[in-house]
Amino acid sequence: MPRLARLCPAGISQHIIQRGNNRQVCFASAPDFAFYINCLHEAALLYGVDIHAWVWMTNHVHLLVTPHIKNGVSLMMQAIGRKYVRYFNSTYERSGTLWEGRYKSCLVASDNYLICCYRYIELNPVRAKMVDDPEKYHWSSYQCNAIGKQSDLITFHANYLGLADTAKKRRLKYRSLFKDAMEQELLTELRESTNKNMAFGSEKFKDEVEACQQRRLRPKLPGRPSKKIS
């Protein structure tokens, strides 16, 4: 059965996760992280994709992005994949695949769901028990969004800018969002939506995107036929 085409409309944010094959290490040193970041920056500029949040773990990557052209994210991830795999295989004298098939992604509503996605991404090292505070993890966007670290990679999303009317107040408000753990229900929904290439947002958001894209973007209800999009 053929795979569904990657859904990548312009103007709708996406959460992306790409894992190493069999969860193997895909970043073994600081130069590896730096090379990947450079690949991402170049590809994002080339294909018109804004990068809002990120975290690089040793065996996977999370991104929150918004493309300005249709299929911009797909083109960006393909370009990064080809260039980084060549670099990694050459550096470590290996061959073969590095990534676990296609990257996973979901469309994200531009409201509280998007801010939830920021938190999910930047709390990844805390959930993995690598640090006890997201500020202590170097390879994430938290230091940019919460502390004010400068980066050419980042583009602030309108929802982030709407947290407050000054940069200082915005960062203070943003840090306050990380005081409490994320609700398990939201964690589960975001993970499922990403792994199945669906939509993360309100039912209204899902209805609107399904109607526009002519695709089901939520799990089927058990025991009931799926709703036909027409």
Q: What is the pLDDT of residue 3?
A: 58
Model confidence over 164-182: pLDDT tens digits?
A: 999 999 999 999 999 988 8
- With a cut of 80, say whether residue 220 has pLDDT above it: no
Model confidence over 94-137: pLDDT tens digits?
A: 998 999 988 999 999 988 999 999 999 999 999 999 999 999 99
What is the DSSP annotation of the chain? -PPPPP---TT-EEEEEEEBGGG--S--SHHHHHHHHHHHHHHHHHTTEEEEEEEE-SSEEEEEEEESSTTHHHHHHHHHHHHHHHHHHHHTT--S--B-SSPEEEEE-TTHHHHHHHHHHHTHHHHTTS-SSGGG-SSBSHIIIII----SSB---HHHHTT-SSHHHHHHHHHHTTSSPPPHHHHHHHHHHHHTT-EES-HHHHHHHHHHHTS--SPPPTTSPPPPP-
- pTM confidence score: 0.91
> At the top level of CATH, which class does the domain 13-198 belong to?
alpha beta
- With a cut of 80, say whether residue 2 has pLDDT above it: no
